Amino acid sequence: MKLIIQREQGADSYEEEFALSATSAITLLSALYEIKSKLDSTLTFGAGCRSGVCGSCAVLVNGKEQLACSYKHKAGDKIEPLRYHKILRDLKVDKSKAHAKIEPIVVDEHRAGSIPNIADENRTKKQSDCILCDSCYSACPVLAVNENFMGPFALTKAYKNTILSPSGSISILKNVQKDGIWDCTLCGECTLVCPQGIDPKGDIMMLRGEAGKAGYMDPNFSSMDFGTPDFGGGF
């Protein structure tokens, strides 16, 4: 079985094909380790828990984000590093810039006064399943044109925190205005690739609703071109 891996070694960037025995490695992550331990010790990638909760091993497989530990590779698969991250070496990327984007949405006060119940648990259950694997960030086309865009996971966390901390939501909503909720095109790519089944697009829409209630407006709205008004009728 052959795997094609995008290599980034110093200034060199190239595709390399590796031949693996068909049966030995079960997941893509174990295949990467097989290559590293037997064929090429310079191959560099992220690895951790092997069971899909630590977020270390997300890569692109044939252009789509996958956790290497949770993906069964097929012959001819092409493996690349995540998009919109600085590549450190081969499949290993620098996630510090992406992760710093949660800074504006963390809050110090939680749940002033209210007593949570099962309904409250359900309101943030999915959002708090995030493992910070950066798959959604890599899939987001907005980041191709605006590198300052906060990105899907930070906005999902923002939404989660507005629920958990009603008193903190004022500052969160303020901090997601610029390069935040209004910059999203609602294309839903983030939702499609999340290994935890989180729906950042939905969370961003919820945040827009909350922002509207708090008096914020879509800044794109005033500059939108609605064309010539058509009142119907005519001849």
Partner 1 sequence: MTDLLVIGSGGAGLTAAIEARQKGFSVIVVTKTLPTQAQTCMAQGGINASLANVTDDDVQLHIQDTLRSSAGLADTDMVSKMCHEASSSLEWLESIGVPFSRIDGADDALSSIAQRRLGGASAKRACYAQDYTGLKILHTLYERSVEVGVRFVSEHYLLNLLVDDDRVVAGAIFWDIQKGEVVAIEAGQTIIATGGYGGLYHEHTTNSYGSSGDGIAAVLRAGGVVSDMEFVQFHPTALHGSAILISESARGEGGYLIDHNGDRFVDELAPRDKVSRAIFAQMQMGHNVRLDIRHLGRQKIETLMPQELHLCRLHAGIDPIEEPIPIMPVAHYTMGGIEVDDQLRVRNLQNCYAIGECSNAKVHGANRLGGNSLLEIIAFGRVVSRHMSKDISTSKCDIEARIEEDKKAIEKIFAKPNEVNFYRKRKILGKLMYKDVGIIRDNAKMHEASVYLNEIHDKLGIMGVGDKEPKNNQDLVEFLEFRNTLVLAKATLLSAISRTESRGAHHRSDFPTTRDEWSRHSYIELVDGDPRARESL
Residues in 131-160 that interact with partner 1 by CB under 8 A = 131-132, 157, 160
According to CB under 8 A, which one of 13, 15, 19, 37 is a site residue for partner 1?
37
Strand duo 58-61 + 12-19: pairing:
unpaired
Residues in 182-221 that interact with partner 1 by CB under 8 A = none
Residues in 90-119 that interact with partner 1 by CB under 8 A = 92, 94-96, 99, 102-103, 106-108, 110-111, 115-118
What is the crossing angle of helices 200-213 and 152-164, to 10°? 50
Shortest separation between residue 53's beta carbon and partner 1, angstroms: 5
User: Is residue 7 a contact point for partner 1 (CB under 8 A)?
Assistant: no
User: Is residue 175 a contact point for partner 1 (CB under 8 A)?
Assistant: no
Shortest separation between residue 224's beta carbon and partner 1, angstroms: 35
According to CB under 8 A, which one of 61, 164, 198, 204 is a site residue for partner 1?
164
Q: Which is nearer to partner 1, 59 or 142 (CB)?
A: 59
User: Is residue 58 a contact point for partner 1 (CB under 8 A)?
Assistant: no
User: Is residue 167 a contact point for partner 1 (CB under 8 A)?
Assistant: no
